Amino acid sequence: MSRPPIRAYIGLGANLGDSAATLRRVLAELQDTPGVAAVTASPFYRSAPVDATGPDFVNAVAALDTVLPPLALLDVLQALENQHGRLRPYRNAPRTLDLDLLLHGDARLDHERLTLPHPRMHLRAFVLLPLRDLAPTLALGGKPIGEWIEAIQDQAIERITDWNVDE
């Protein structure tokens, strides 16, 4: 008996190399992942690093339908990060690719490897704005996404309108 697919949301970011091209590639790779279907991406955004230094990030959020349980999906995301040269020399280091599992249906999980929903997504414009593009009626912690966005208006972020931008 197969389980029905669950809607998951993935935060994507990169600030080393050709970030926009990396995000486009990883979205295609997610679409080709067994157990993952119907990958839809938000527009890309440019944002300054949070609690870090380095070049601006290119960020997006992807919605996907998956039959993979949360930790198995996390394994897929971390394997993709590694394939794209992700290094972790120190906390919040610049990165070629950062993939965060934000939501996995209505799952609540407090595991040493993964907390769901993502514990800081409601504090970050680079997550909330692209997430709203995909799920404008989504509520986080019982509050509409728009209310969370009102609270982070001081964070610098811009929608990228030139899809051929070189990062």
The catalytic site residues sit at: 86, 95, 98, 100
Listed in sequence order, the residues at least 6 apart from 67 whose beta carbon sits closer than 8 Å to its beta carbon are 2, 3, 4, 5, 6, 35
What's the token pair of residue 64?
């996907």
* DSSP state for residue 91 in the 8-state scheme: T
CA–CA dist 127, 125 (Å, integer): 5
19-31 helix and 70-83 helix, angle to the nearest 10 degrees = 140
Q: What angle do CA 149, 154, 116 make, to 5 degrees?
A: 45
Q: Is 164 exposed, middle or buried (0-12, 13-18, 19+ CB in 10 A)?
A: exposed
